Amino acid sequence: MKLKNTLGLAIGSLIAATSFGALAQGQGAVEGELFYKKQYNDSVDHVEDGFNPGASIGYFLTDDVALNFTYDRNNHTRSNDGTGSQKLHGDNFGLIAQYHFNNAGDALRPYIAGGVKHGSLTNVEADGHSGRDQSTYLNAGAGVKYYFAENFYARAGVDADYKLDNGRWNYAPVVGLGVNFGGGGKPAPAPVPAPEPVAEAPVEAPVAEVVRVELDVKFDFDKSVVKPNSYADIKNLADFMKQYPATHTTVEGHTDSVGPDAYNQKLSQRRADAVKKVLTQQYGVESSRVQSVGYGESRPVADNKTEAGRAVNRRVEAQVEAQAK
């Protein structure tokens, strides 16, 4: 298949993918990208530098770690050094892991990358060779992604490929445009019963009664995605706050004790932010009425030495009180 057909198919696939529901970043998200790089072919003799177009598809294993399958083509490369300036072609396939900094949802996400690639390049016939040169490379890279919309981003970075056959390097500055979809998609909320009616005070002695709604959302290990079975409870809290528009709440995120304190603090904040996002963006509670705070592993309610206890501690809590009229 010609390169223009391949890239056309990739573009069509990325556009079509945006129809599969809510687009979001973070764990479970899929990223598709088209990129273009300046290829410095230092690992092979008698070959000029070129420009390689390519595409990649990746999956976020966690909020920060993505695994990408990449392909690019040597489409603008020629031989040199008196070998007839032949036009050369090649294909490069890679499996690359990326670690992203900052938080899922931030506009800027720097990253570092590493993995393995397999490449092939037509030999220089005027230099006495024919067929293709097959090579294996170790890859390292770094750069930054800028999410100019929730599901669209631009990337700039630098790749370095170490050729195992001869211990020499290729280098490539790269730019790309991509789409991000699937992570944290909103499931259809389950039917929710209306809040329980507030008991009326006796007519002969009217007294203001305090009513309360509490929220307790549980999370899977090392996850910050709200599970579908928690949406009903969050909607119940949102309905209560709409019924009492003067109320405010603080959404508190917590973790178990597995992992470093600093990481758990960051994870607890992401959990609190995720519940706040459902309250405000899906169920319409004003953002100014909801605060989100992460407490890390500092406030356990169960024994972290057991799996059952750790599961209870992986939670987000909130409560709202109001005086019934």
| DSSP secondary structure, 139-185, as one string | EEEEEEEEEEETTEEEEEEEEEEEETTTTEEEEEEEEEEEEEE-TT-
CATH code, 133: 2.40.160.20
Write the burial class of residue 259 (CB in 10 Å: 0-12 exposed, 13-18 middle, 19+ buried). Answer: middle
pLDDT of residue 45: 76
Based on the domain organization, do 177 and 70 belong to the same domain? yes
Based on the domain organization, do 117 and 254 belong to the same domain? no
Q: What is the residue type of 59?
A: Y
Tokens 């600093």 belong to residue: 262
Model-level pTM? 0.54
Based on the domain organization, do 78 and 169 belong to the same domain? yes
Is the confidence at residue 198, as pLDDT, over 50? yes
pLDDT of residue 286: 94
Based on the domain organization, do 108 and 220 belong to the same domain? no
Looking at the domain assignment, is residue 69 inside a domain? Answer: yes
Report the mean per-residue pLDDT for the chain.
83
Number of domains in the chain: 2
CATH code, 273: 3.30.1330.60
Mean local confidence (pLDDT), 214-226: 92
Looking at the domain assignment, is residue 213 inside a domain? Answer: yes
Per residue in 243-292, pLDDT tens? Answer: 999 899 999 999 999 989 999 999 999 999 999 999 999 999 999 999 99
Looking at the domain assignment, is residue 25 inside a domain? Answer: yes
Closest CA to 75 of 94, 96, 49: 49
Domain boundary among 181, 200, 220: 181
pLDDT interval class at 202 (50, 70, 90): low
pLDDT interval class at 184 (50, 70, 90): low
Mean local confidence (pLDDT), 64-79: 87
What is the bridge-based pairing of β-strands 132-149 and 65-78? Answer: unpaired
Is the confidence at residue 190, as pLDDT, over 60? no
pLDDT of residue 17: 40
Looking at the domain assignment, is residue 292 inside a domain? Answer: yes
**Domain housing 296:** 209-324
Based on the domain organization, do 176 and 213 belong to the same domain? no
